[in-house]
Structure formats: C-alpha cells, structure tokens
Amino acid sequence: MVNFKSTESKVLHALESYPVTRKSDSKLILAVYALVDRNVVDLSFKEVMNLSSENKKFPSFETIRRTRQKIQASNPHLKDEPTAKVREGAMQNSYKEYALS
C-alpha cells in the first residue's frame, strides 16, 4: 500500500483511480479513509465519525471536500464529466451573447 503524506495526495489519488468519487463527496471520503486504513469500509457510520474526530490521520470531511474543489479547479480532467460539459456550454452561450451584443 502506498504511503500518502498529505490529504491532497490522497484526494488526488482517489479522484484519479475512482471516477465515481469526482461527483460524490461521500464516496470520496470513503475512498480517502480507505487509503488511510482499509478496515474503515467495515465500520459503522458512527465509528467512522468517531475516527474523523479522534484520529488525526483521518482528515475531516470538510478538508476532503475543500481539497477536491481545489484539485478539480486546477485539473479540469478530474471534474465530473457532465458538470464540466454543462458549465462549458453555459460559458460558451454567455460569450456568444456578449459577442453578438
């Protein structure tokens, strides 16, 4: 198992390895926690919540969410595909309206 030193490296690995984590924070959190300790997938929600608040090797849910946003902002290929296409289309329409006015 790879030893990840930062939350950013864990989140980046999860986003690259598991595309489903690109659009679901809960699946991303589970993937990141599983990178820290594989046994976390067998725990109850209550036990996972306790881990996140008591054990510093498990990043907080909010830290994982913010890190995902930061990584996806600088790596468009790691965004959820339909979301990226909708945003791109909306920007193209805005530009067309601007150009025609």
In degrees rounded to 5, what are phi and psi of residue 30?
-60, -40
Enumerate residues 6+ apart whose C-beta is below 8 A from 5: none
Residue 1 carries which DSSP code?
-
pLDDT one-digit tens code per residue, 51-72: 777 888 889 899 999 999 999 9
pLDDT one-digit tens code per residue, 85-97: 555 666 677 777 7
Enumerate residues 6+ apart whose C-beta is below 8 A from 30: 40, 41
Is the distance from CB of 63 to CB of 45 less than 8 angstroms? Answer: no
Residue 78 carries which DSSP code?
G
Q: How confident is the model at residue 74 (pLDDT cuts 50, 70, 90)?
A: very high
**Which position has the higher pLDDT, 19 or 5?**
19
